[in-house]
């Protein structure tokens, strides 16, 4: 038995591969966050969607963006000597939004699976059409960014001091208007890191010598 085969058939090897991959993704995302790219420019949204689409274990998929965000928050708190990066009122809301992106990824995976079944029976194909396949990913990514924008800014308006945003429609509109530049950063980072994660994995599958289908889907 080769080393690569042993990694997928040996539970210990599979576990090591699984947690090595999680650690790699978490470390990458956390490290990127520590650098000053601008508000809301972060890989967490793209990572959450990627985890939801590709991770076989749903609990691990949910764990990945949470670990990445927390590790990044710790790094920001240390590098800026400011614990407010780690503990703030919006922390549960932000983390929750990324978990929603994981669930959007689950939805993409489900649609891919259904498309595989239908195309396999009708056209004897083994893959969904590329335009349809990646269209689902792009749509889910945009939906995740939009949900993040709406939910986090509504929460900001709710908890903000009335002297900052009035507790009426005008104050809510002001809050959302001022947040539009941040949403631009969210979209830009989701596009960039979406290419990194999804595109990188597509290339990795063609050259990797150790099978990773015990951890990630490979269709």
166 CB contacts (<8 Å, ≥6 apart)?
174
Q: Is the pLDDT higher at 39 or at 212? A: 39
Q: SS3 for 216?
A: strand
- Which band of pLDDT confidence, cut at 50, 70 and 90, is reported for residue 218? low
Model confidence over 104-143: pLDDT tens digits? 999 999 888 776 666 554 444 445 566 677 889 999 999 9
pLDDT in tens, 46-97: 999 999 999 989 999 999 999 999 999 999 999 989 888 888 899 999 999 9
- Per-residue pLDDT reduced to its tens digit, 12-29: 666 777 888 899 999 999
DSSP one-letter code for 55: B
Residue 197's nearest CA partner among 43, 60, 68 is 43
User: Of 149, 156, 110, 154, which Cα lies nearest the Cα of 133?
Assistant: 110
pTM of the model: 0.85
Q: Tell me the helices (H) and strands (E) count for the chain, helix number first.
A: 9, 0
């Amino acid at each position: 038995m080769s080393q690569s085969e042993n990694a997928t058939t040996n539970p210990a090897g599979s576990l090591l591969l699984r947690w090595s991959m999680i650690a790699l993704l978490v470390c990458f995302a956390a490290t990127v966050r520590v650098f000053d790219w601008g508000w809301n420019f972060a890989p967490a949204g793209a990572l959450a969607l990627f985890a939801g689409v590709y991770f076989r274990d749903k609990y691990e998929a949910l764990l990945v963006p949470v670990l990445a965000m927390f590790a990044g928050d710790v790094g920001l708190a240390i590098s800026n000597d400011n614990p407010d990066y780690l503990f703030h009122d919006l922390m549960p809301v932000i983390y929750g939004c990324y978990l929603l992106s994981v669930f959007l990824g689950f939805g993409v995976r489900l649609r891919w699976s259904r498309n595989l079944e239908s195309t396999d029976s009708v056209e004897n194909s083994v893959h969904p059409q590329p335009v349809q396949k990646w269209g689902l990913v792009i749509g889910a990514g945009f939906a995740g960014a939009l949900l993040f924008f709406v939910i986090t800014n509504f929460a900001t308006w709710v908890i903000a001091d009335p002297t900052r945003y009035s507790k009426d429609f005008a104050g809510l509109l002001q809050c959302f208007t001022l947040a539009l530049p941040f949403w631009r950063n969210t979209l830009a980072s989701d596009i960039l890191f979406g290419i990194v994660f999804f595109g990188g994995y597509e290339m990795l599958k063609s050259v990797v010598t150790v099978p990773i289908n015990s951890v990630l889907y490979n269709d």
